[in-house]
A and B are shown apart, each in its own frame.
Chain A
Amino acid sequence: MSGPENTGRKQVHLAAQLPGIHNVTVWADPRSRSQIAFASFQHLARTAERGRFDFFFLAEGLRLREHKGRLYDLDVVGRPENLTQLSALAAVTARLGLAATVNATFNEPYEVARRLATLDHLSGGRAAWNVVTSFDAFTGENFRRGGFLAESDRYARAAEFLATARELWDSWAEGDVRADAAAGAFVRPGAGRFAHHGQHFGISGRFTTPRPPQGHPVIIQAGDSPAGREFAAAEADVVFSKYNRLDEARAFYRDVKSRLARYGRTPDRLKILPTATVVVADSDAEAAAHAEEITRAQVSPQTAIAHLEAVWGRDLSGYDPDGPLPDIDPVPDAQMLKGHSLFRRDRDAIARGWRALAEERGLSIRELVIEVSGGQTFVGSPHTVADAIDHFVQSDGADGFVLVPHLTPGGLDDFVDRVVPLLQEKGVFRRDYTGPTLRDHLGLPHRPERTPVPKETP
């Protein structure tokens, strides 16, 4: 019998992220392969599907990061365009959900809605959209409108962008493609007609693409601010979170789920998935040693100095990464690291906290950066890791996790081969997919909860 066993226990949802453009990815490891070759993406996606993951996820950055006025060269860099890449991956997977981060600032609703609808058709209902916003003029320099959006307007634009995309998906009803050759009727009259007149978008005409198999692709959101949480509660099917320590994760989980009722939604309609890393070895001790090696590799001496510079807002290349933190003060307004959300805010407070921590514990610059980087989330033998994931989910810290491997592309092989079977034995993770679509995997209804605007039938 396929599908989760009826254990009455809360089910775990899992997503895989291709290691991104940050220092989680250890490129110097001899097992590390190309970050851009299609074969790498295919390997990781097929591994995730073998492990019956809910979906595969790609992040996005539309401008290469710059540090001290030059390209940042310490991390893996270079990525595909997400929707095109996921469409290709749809050909080499059969059930795995395919989630694209697509920016709502440097795109227009008609085209994004069309491309997501296309991906949903071409994957048989497996598309998801991680809605992100940006506003910075730095990224805007790659686009027609430049840095046109004020930071305070970014959620308003994103909300209207998503609402407009939903109107476009609803502009074709199910069954509008008749393809009735005998009657000479290909399409229902008026299919695709729409008009939207709002603050950010004034568009009208006809949408090109029939209703996606999932009705609407799965919507993902990752905002942590009160406005972001409210947006998620109102609109999202999945929320990514950065809280992967149980106490703070439970607080986030409670807060976001409690906001759903206001929008007429039950708590199970929104899945909360923190980002997590996993280190598995034969024994707990071996895994702990391995985790420490990985963390050290993720924070090279050069990376430690660069992170410190990003917080301090000044050149610190003269400092010894194995020596103490600088006693000079940060320059609060100088932005050294551009194109990255890391250390963008409250740098003064971060610097004070880092200094206090280093003094208290006697840490060098590199040791401090390793300490604050958080290390690895789940470390241990396969049993230890499976128990910890299960416990985290059953304690309402999460509905599951987005796993970010440190190696491309083999970084999830061990997890899938050794941990997934244990989660299946516990009855908390599916042994096989029960339906073809991502909404099926997530236990979400196929139709959006809001009723599409009724149309006249001529």
Chain B
Amino acid sequence: MTAPPMHLAVALDAAGWHPAAWRAEDARPADLFDARYWADLVTEAERGLLDFVTFEDALGVQSAAFHRPDDRTDQVRGSLDAVLLAARVAPLTSHIGLVPTANVTHTEPFHVSTGIATLDYASTGRAGLRPQIASRAADAAHFGRRTTPRLTDEDVRDPERIGRRLSPLFDEAADAVEVARRLWDSWEDDAEIRDAATGRFIDRDKVHHIDFEGEHFSVRGPAITPRPPQGQPPVMSLAHAGVPYEFAARAADAVWVTPHDRAQAAAILAQVDAAVRRTGRDTRARPLLRFAEVLVFLDAEPGAAARRKARLDELDGAALGSDAEVFTGTPGELADLLLDWREAGLDGFRLRPGALPHDLVEITRGLVPELQRRGAFRTAYGATTLRGHLRLPRPESRYARAS
């Protein structure tokens, strides 16, 4: 019996996930706001046949402690809008999925939905959405319309506690995703008729108001954008605790989790399963893919990756801390780890390169061939859409049945 090939994604973020990555020898820190830098990274990821890349984002400047702004100048500060970044590279690639982060606390759900639908058109079916709540109180002041919970140092030591404190924002985020999905469905696939005889461009019985009424907002619809090529672009979320697991169980097509070993992966997946049961989701009809995160430093020469990381730690003045497991080693050793962890029931991995472009290139030219040799990863793209890569069926519009 052979397991299906694993899914593999790369999380792109500025110069990489180590705060001092921009000071690495082969980093391109002056190019972080330039389209060519991102185009180079994404075409490299596509060369490695990866399922998708993700783009991090936030509506505030980066900080060392995620809940509290700081004035550090020795780390990357400043960012570009992730949805626009994904769109900028879409026409330059042809297969790889593009999953930007979009804020669902301050950004209008209507705009999030049409932005991702537009990305799906521009990429002909390769868009995804990673909805993110605004967990930093300082970001709310950039909008001045509301306040959000101010996390304390005490809170951030415990993911369960963060989850409970932010649970109203997760509830609202689930509403935002529901609105996005309804808007994507609001035009049936065959709504455009171009009937010259009657002069009608659309069949208005196939374009629907969504009439969403929630605790935090209501949206009438329909979308201004016709149904995107994938029907509904896949929604994915990062989760570390019960509340976000439940959010994923309600709203996502894929959840990204952060175990530190195989046993912990199994334990977390059991919690995800429990959350799925609590929400009553039927995963045969609506599969929920499970990805684990690993922050990676890779070099073919044994010991080199660890030395590279140690040098970056030294530059940053602290050992790298992360919610995800930090791996240093050779591509072969990482392949061993991924195949081992997968036994816990994972569908794939989202790898966070410690430094860019270095660790991305080690993934595409070192890890990928290694996994291919072991029969665990595709040797050619078998589909042209993100749903196709993830083996997720294209959903019918929920409104098609009603009419």
- Give the interface of A toward B (CB within 8 A): 27-28, 36-38, 42, 61-64, 70-71, 73-81, 83-85, 87-88, 90-92, 106-108, 110-111, 114-115, 117-119, 121-124, 141-144, 172, 177, 179, 181, 184-192, 201-210, 300-303
Contacts and interface: CB of A to CB of B under 8 A. Distances in A.
B18 to A, nearest CB: 13
Interface stretch (B135-143, B155-163, B393-401): B135-143
B83 interface: yes
B343 interface: no
A61 B222 CA distance: 12
B121 A144 contact: no
A203 B84 contact: no
A378 B88 CA distance: 35
Interface of B: 22-23, 27, 29-30, 32-35, 39, 58-61, 69, 71, 73-81, 83-85, 87-92, 106-108, 110-111, 114-115, 117-119, 121-124, 138-139, 141-145, 187, 192, 194, 196, 198-204, 207, 216-222, 224-226, 315
Contact of A144 (B58, B71, B108): B108
A186 B73 contact: yes
Contact of B115 (A84, A106, A121): A84
A75 B115 CA distance: 23
B61 A73 contact: no
Given A184-B74, A208-B78, A108 B194 contact: no
Contacts of A84: 83-84, 87, 115, 118-119, 122
B141 A74 contact: no
Q: Which of B118, B145, B192 has the most CB of A within 10 A?
A: B118
Contact of B77 (A73, A107, A114, A186): A186
B30 A73 contact: no
Nearest to A82: B118
Given A73-B203, A203-B143, A115 B81 contact: yes
16 contacts: A73-B200, A76-B201, A78-B225, A91-B88, A107-B111, A121-B33, A142-B219, A144-B108, A144-B216, A202-B144, A203-B141, A203-B143, A205-B60, A205-B138, A209-B33, A209-B81
A118 to B, nearest CB: 4
Given A144-B108, A205-B138, A206-B61, A177 B199 contact: no
Given A90-B35, A144-B217, A111 B59 contact: yes
B33 A210 contact: yes
Given A118-B84, A121-B33, A203-B142, A38 B122 contact: yes
Q: Which of A84, A87, A121, A187 has the most CB of B within 10 A?
A: A84
A138 to B, nearest CB: 9
A78 B78 contact: no
A22 to B, nearest CB: 11
Contact of B73 (A121, A188, A204): A188
Contacts of B220: 63, 141-142
Question: What DSSP secondary structure best describes chain A's contact surface?
Answer: loop
Given A38-B121, A179-B32, A208-B58, 5 more contacts: A61-B224, A88-B90, A90-B35, A208-B78, A210-B78
Contacts of A62: 110, 224
Nearest to B113: A81
Nearest to B100: A84
Contact of B90 (A79, A91, A206, A207): A91
Contact of B194 (A28, A114, A119): A28
Contact of B143 (A75, A108, A189, A303): A108
Nearest to B62: A208
Given A36-B226, A206-B61, A119 B200 contact: no
Given A74-B201, A84-B84, A210-B33, A181 B27 contact: yes
Given A73-B201, A85-B87, A208-B60, A78 B30 contact: no
A139 to B, nearest CB: 10
Contacts of A70: 204
Given A28-B194, A28-B196, A124-B35, A79 B22 contact: no
Given A64-B224, A79-B225, A87 B207 contact: no
Contacts of B91: 38, 42, 88, 91-92
B111 A81 contact: yes
A76 B111 CA distance: 21
A38 B229 CA distance: 11
Report the 9 A-B pairs with minimum CB-CB distance, sorted nearest first. A88-B122, A302-B199, A141-B220, A179-B29, A80-B118, A87-B84, A81-B114, A87-B87, A71-B204
Contacts of B71: 189-190
Given A78-B187, A179-B30, A107 B108 contact: yes
Nearest to A213: B33
A39 B201 CA distance: 20
A185 to B, nearest CB: 6
Contacts of B74: 184-186
Contacts of A186: 22, 29, 73-77
Contacts of B60: 205-206, 208
B197 to A, nearest CB: 10
